[in-house]
Amino acid sequence: MRIGILTGGGDCPGLNAVIRAVVRTADGRYRSSVVGFRDGWRGLLEDRKVPLSNDDRIDRILTRGGTILGTARVNPDKLKAGLDQIRQTLDDNGIDALIPIGGEGTLTAAGWLAESGVPVIGVPKTIDNDIDCTDVTFGFDTALSIATDAIDRLHTTAESHQRVMLVEVMGRHAGWIALHSGLATGAHLTLVPEVPFDVAEVCDMVKKRFQRGDSHFICVVAEGAAPTPESMTLREGGIDEFGHKRFTGVAQQLGAEIERRIGKEVRTTVLGHVQRGGTPTPYDRVLATRFGVHATDAVHRGDFGQMVALHGTSIELVALTDATRHLKTVPRERYDEAAAFFG
């Protein structure tokens, strides 16, 4: 069998671990070969590929962040219009099955291909942890570790200067990184996209903390968090070419508003792409490796149109259509757990 593989969307620690696991399992268990397509779906649209062999080089990528195949975002309309071209490239290269590794956008496109009869097994990835039907995605644990380390450090400097510190973490529609890093570091407030915040309430919380004699205030803000419309206006950033809302820096704007309203010194840190770079944690290496092994097994069983998913401690298959119907956002009850530590 000849398997195609690609990594799409934003990169994420653990992608190389999946690639390695697919190549090693395909060759070692089935004597199948693997062809990598470069830069996500673009590699299939433009027939740009690289053979991947089960050698020492592939073995060493386990611990490397990023993706050796490169990745790219593609406009969903352009992708839809290019599905025939993608099928043609797969035929031209004698590809029997495709393993796209990606987030919501990549897996949705994988579903379109599967519907049109292309044998596909998806592998979910994203630091945002917002893919439905899997307990967790690899990349999340690494991003969480990086955010936690950074916030721990902010605590000590904030404490020394009696400051309010806002730290903006990634999370476009889902506040998982914010929720977990806030809980892990004992943040005094966490703001997530799922629950609009009231600026007056935030200011009140800050004021009360200092009135009580507490030394500092740490607030974790997901990049997609937003105020209630009546409490503050956020600058508009428009929509990018991939259909995503452009963020304008919610933490920075909230910080300025807190300073203006209560005259307290605020510092803001935006963690940004640091959260996505570098070597994956052991947890992510293991999960990504298991996903790669199970995706390769599924391909050889012919279980197509599905993606691998973590359920408890087992890796199982779920239909791509089910996994891409909704994003997995933070449920209200999970936010309420964290709220027990606010203030």
# residues contacting ligand F6P (CB under 6 A): 11
Residue among 119 and 280 whose Cβ is closer to ligand F6P? 280
Question: Tokens 């039907």, residue?
Answer: 133
Residue among 18 and 127 whose Cβ is closer to ligand F6P? 127
CA distance 126 to 51: 25
By CB under 6 A, residue 13 contacts ligand F6P: no
Does 106 appear as a known binding residue?
yes
CA distance 203 to 329: 26
CA distance 133 to 130: 10
Q: Any residues with CB less than 8 A from the CB of 147 and at least 6 apart, and which?
A: 167, 169, 177, 181, 220, 271, 275
Residue nearest to ligand F6P (CB): 10
Residue among 245 and 332 whose Cβ is closer to ligand F6P? 245
CA distance 308 to 133: 9
**Which of the residues 154 through 193 are near ligand F6P (CB under 6 A)?**
170-172
Does 29 appear as a known binding residue?
no
CA distance 63 to 282: 9
Catalytic choice (11, 27, 39, 128): 128
**Which of the residues 114 through 133 are near ligand F6P (CB under 6 A)?**
126-128
Does 20 appear as a known binding residue?
no
36 forms bridges with which residues in the sheet? 5, 50
CA distance 231 to 69: 45
By CB under 6 A, residue 39 contacts ligand F6P: no
CA distance 103 to 307: 11
Cα distance between the two ends of the chain:
58
Structure token digits, residue 336: 């309420």
> Closest Cα partner for 25 from 57, 3, 47, 7?
3
Residue among 175 and 255 whose Cβ is closer to ligand F6P? 175
Amino acid letter at 50? V
**Residues 217-236 as x/- pattern, contact with ligand F6P by CB under 6 A:** ------x-------------
**Which of the residues 265 through 294 are near ligand F6P (CB under 6 A)?**
276
Indicate if 149 belongs to the active site.
Answer: no
By CB under 6 A, residue 297 contacts ligand F6P: no
Q: Any residues with CB less than 8 A from the CB of 64 and at least 6 apart, and which?
A: 16, 279
Does 163 appear as a known binding residue?
yes
Residue among 128 and 257 whose Cβ is closer to ligand F6P? 128
**Which of the residues 51 through 110 are near ligand F6P (CB under 6 A)?**
103
167 forms bridges with which residues in the sheet? 220, 269
**Distance in Å, CB of 343 to ligand F6P, minimum:** 27
Write out the catalytic residue numbers: 128
**Residues at the contact surface with ligand F6P, assessed by CB under 6 A:** 9-10, 103, 126-128, 170-172, 223, 276
Binding residues for Mg(2+): 104
Binding residues for substrate: 126-128, 163, 170-172, 223, 267, 273-276
